[in-house]
Amino acid sequence: MENREEEDTTSDVPGHKCPLLCDSLHGSMHDRDNSPMMRAVFRSPVCKVYRFQTESSRWMLVREQMSESPLSSSLPKQLLSCYIQEDMRRVQELGDLCDLSPYWDGLRSDVIAHYSQLISTYQETLTELNKLTGLSCSFKASCSKSDRYLEFIPVNLHTQRMQVASSRRTVWYDVVTVGAPADHYQGFKQGGLQRLLNKPDGDNKSVSSAYCCISYSPEESSRAREVLSSVSQLQPLISGLTEELLQAALEVNSQRLQDILHSLAHRTEQFVHALKDELVKNALLALHTARPAYHLSNGHVHVTHGNGTGPRPSSASQDGLRPSIWRQESIPQNTEYDEEDWVSWREIC
């Protein structure tokens, strides 16, 4: 059990009254531990009650309890469910990009295959976790740290509470202890999270030069997540206000119409402002250059090599003008889009 500092909570209880206080403390805590709420959060409690005198000859009564928690498995289950939903949404978004050039379509297929494998692994793990019953669903011992289906469950997680009491005052100290998170199941083959985070982008040999030009700084990535979050929140709000506007029009309620129109105008302004971000423009440009029509209009054909180095211009491209994505170090900023591109982007948003 983890060592903890205790705050001296003292009283003038005589020695012959101390056992009564100790029994009272133990009885009240026993009733509380057996309540439905406590049984739902704590399992297999181990309790120890003791007393001792301080330097001032006063008595201190202490009750320590260590319990397992069903949250050890229920929270990982919810996390896995969130991962599955998130990755399925990503696969759906990739599928909604419609037709792409052969190279970009190959990249999309690789990403979809990667996420499909993750989804399958998450679902298999979640199925096995749902089979756990009894004590196995509330505690993962050190001897099970390499179990494949338990890799999302924390090792040796305990909830601990120390109660220090006297006849005047009671103080509680709550502590959660858990084993250090580590990649026990995979045998630390990837070198840990810190190494992965610091891994240079140049180590990824499968990323082509065409794809490298579409790279973002951490600040831009953070802003992109904010834009996506804002758009995902505003889109259902605008749809809901549109439905309310239609209902108010059917009811011929002028005051409600004005209120809804005001809210709709405000939300629409926020939506348009979010889409005006430069990152959105760059994303649309990248999508435009990935369309088959873009390469056909430039008279170029991308050839994908089996060595994973990505597309290369054909011989016609080498003799003539190369596509702008090969000429420039970044995505072009003034490319015109046709109506089909704008419609596709609107549907994605």
Phi, psi of 295 (to 5 degrees): -75, -35
Range scoring the smallest mean pLDDT among 148-162, 174-188, 189-203: 189-203
Residue 326 scores a pLDDT above 90: no
pLDDT value at residue 27: 53
Q: Which of 86-100, 239-253, 291-305 has the lowest mean pLDDT?
A: 291-305
The answer to whether residues 77 and 33 belong to one domain is: no
pLDDT above 90 for 84: yes
Q: Are residues 35 and 82 in the same domain?
A: no
Whole-Å CA distances, 176 to 65, 159, 161, 219: 12, 5, 9, 34
What is residue 127's predicted lDDT score, i.e. its pLDDT? 92
Residue 311 or 54, more confident: 54
Q: Are 100 and 231 in the same domain?
A: no
Q: What is the overall mean pLDDT for the chain?
A: 72
Whether the pLDDT of residue 19 is over 80: the answer is: no
Rounded to the nearest 5 degrees, what angle is found at the Cα of 222, between the Cα atoms of 219 and 226? Answer: 135
Q: Is 89 within the bounds of a domain?
A: yes
Q: Same domain for 46 and 166?
A: yes
Antiparallel, parallel or unpaired: β 43-53 and 59-68: antiparallel
Predicted confidence band of residue 325 (pLDDT cuts 50, 70, 90)? very low
Shared domain check, 101 and 60:
no
Last residue of one domain, picked from the residues 134, 150, 166: 150
Regarding whether 112 and 242 lie in a shared domain, the answer is no
Of 150, 169, 199, the position where a domain reaches its end is: 150
| Per-residue model confidence (pLDDT) at position 296 | 62
pLDDT at 101: 79
Residue 324 in domain = no
Of the chain, the percentage scoring pLDDT greater than 90 comes to 12
175, β-bridge pairs: 160
d(C-alpha 297, C-alpha 60), whole Å: 85
Q: How many domains, in total, are found in the chain?
A: 3
pLDDT in tens, 155-180: 888 888 888 887 677 888 988 888 88
Mean pLDDT of the 305-312 span? 43
Res. 112: pLDDT tops 90: yes
Residue 132 sits in the same domain as residue 168: no
Same structural domain for residues 145 and 165?
Answer: no
Does residue 196 form part of some domain?
no
Average pLDDT of span 124-136: 82
Above 70 in pLDDT, residue 334?
Answer: no
pLDDT at 337 over 90: no
In a domain, 199, yes or no: no
Same domain, yes or no, for 127 and 110? yes
pLDDT at 317 over 50: no
Alpha-carbon distance of 303 to 311, in angstroms, equals 5
With b for 16 or more beta-carbon neighbours within 10 A and e for fewer, the 72-95 pattern comes to bbeebbeebeebbeebeebbeeee
Q: What is the mean pLDDT of residues 240-265?
A: 88
Task: Say whether both 229 and 344 belong to one domain.
Answer: yes
- The last residue of one of the domains, among 150, 168, 192, is 150
Its domain, for residue 46, covers: 15-68+157-177
pLDDT at 310: 44
Residue 185 has pLDDT above 50, yes or no: yes
| Side-chain-side CA neighbours of residue 221 (13 Å) | 5
Q: Which of 209-213, 214-218, 270-274 has the lowest mean pLDDT?
A: 209-213
For residues 254 and 145, state if they share a domain: no
For the cut 70, the answer to whether the pLDDT of residue 26 exceeds it is no
State how far the Cα of 100 lies from the Cα of 292, in Å rounded to an integer. Answer: 6
Q: Is residue 103 part of a domain?
A: yes
- Shared-domain flag, residues 112 and 137: yes
Residue 130 has pLDDT above 50, yes or no: yes
pLDDT of residue 15: 47
pLDDT for 305 equals 41
